[in-house]
Amino acid sequence: MSEQIAVTETLLRIQKEGLQAALATVISVKGSVPRHVGSKMIIWPDGAIVGTVGGGQMESRVIQDGIQAIHTGESTIVEYTLNDIGAGDPGICGGTIQLFIEPIVTAPTLLVIGGGHVGKALAELGKWAGFRVILSDDRPEFCNDTYVAGLDGYLVVPPGEVASHIIIDANTYIAAVTRGLPVDEKLIPSLLETPAAYIGLIGSRRRWALTVKALEEKGISRESLDRVHAPLGLELNAETPQEIAVSILAEIIMIYRGGDGKPMKWMGKIEDVVSNDS
């Protein structure tokens, strides 16, 4: 497999699986350098690479810059002069190379745990909204491509084992629409061990209060449990599975985009806007 094909296929895999990585691209060269403009290298969070931008000490520095880009989410342009290793330059080719290093931004992952009426509606709505959607349920008949078509993954495992079968990172939003307290007691502790951006649990306030009491008795702190949005969703007085799904996804989008959930109705003076536009 050629280097270019390997990089392209890896980029497709990153998008499909919602993985974290950075991409380094040579954007300018002067003089003698090891790689031409357009050369690309993918950097994984652990420093492993696909492709190359030249090797040696220079590439080692690019790898570190790539890892930093993954952590910060910020792109950067770096330039190296390859003249004198003794003077601190990362090479002796004699030229100058400039690279653009960027984190690879993937769609956020919506992990729906529980494939009942609400879970199905939420998975469909999340996919429509552009999320990468994974559906999980311990009942195969509620977790397959026939039951909910076109999702990015189907995970048939007990709820308490979900976190050990899927990568859950800071770009993952979890909606647990499960069947009751016995399930929640096993599920929530495993989810709290992940860096998920959002953990939501369906149910009444009483159900969540009983869950908190049971988990605190098992040694889980209130501070940790405060990460859980329970009951999940925004207050819409929703009743149908589809309405409840809208409520849940609205809260997730609010967290993802940094909104506040307040009504957008404007209470200012129309005259002020009209006069400013003229």
Provide the residue-wise pLDDT of the chain in tens; the chain has 278 residues: 588 899 999 999 998 888 889 999 999 888 767 678 889 999 999 999 999 887 777 888 899 999 999 988 899 999 887 764 544 334 455 578 889 999 998 899 999 999 999 999 999 999 999 999 999 999 999 999 999 999 999 999 999 999 999 989 889 999 999 987 788 889 999 999 999 999 999 999 999 999 999 999 999 999 999 999 999 999 999 999 999 999 999 999 999 999 999 998 887 777 776 766 55
> Cα–Cα–Cα angle for 188, 192, 193, nearest 5°?
125
Structural domains in the chain, CATH included, are 3-103 (no CATH), 109-257 (3.40.50.720)
pLDDT of residue 31: 74
Note whether 187 and 219 are within 8 A (CB): no
Cα Rg of the chain, angstroms: 24
Note whether 11 and 30 are within 8 A (CB): no
pLDDT of residue 62: 92
Instruction: Classify residue 108 as exposed, middle or buried by CB count within 10 Å of its CB (0-12, 13-18, 19+).
Output: buried
pLDDT of residue 94: 57
pLDDT of residue 242: 97
pLDDT of residue 87: 40
Angstrom distances, CA of residue 171 to CA of 120, 151, 163: 21, 17, 14
The tokens describing 127, both together, are 């996919």
pLDDT of residue 136: 97
Residue at 21: amino acid letter:
A
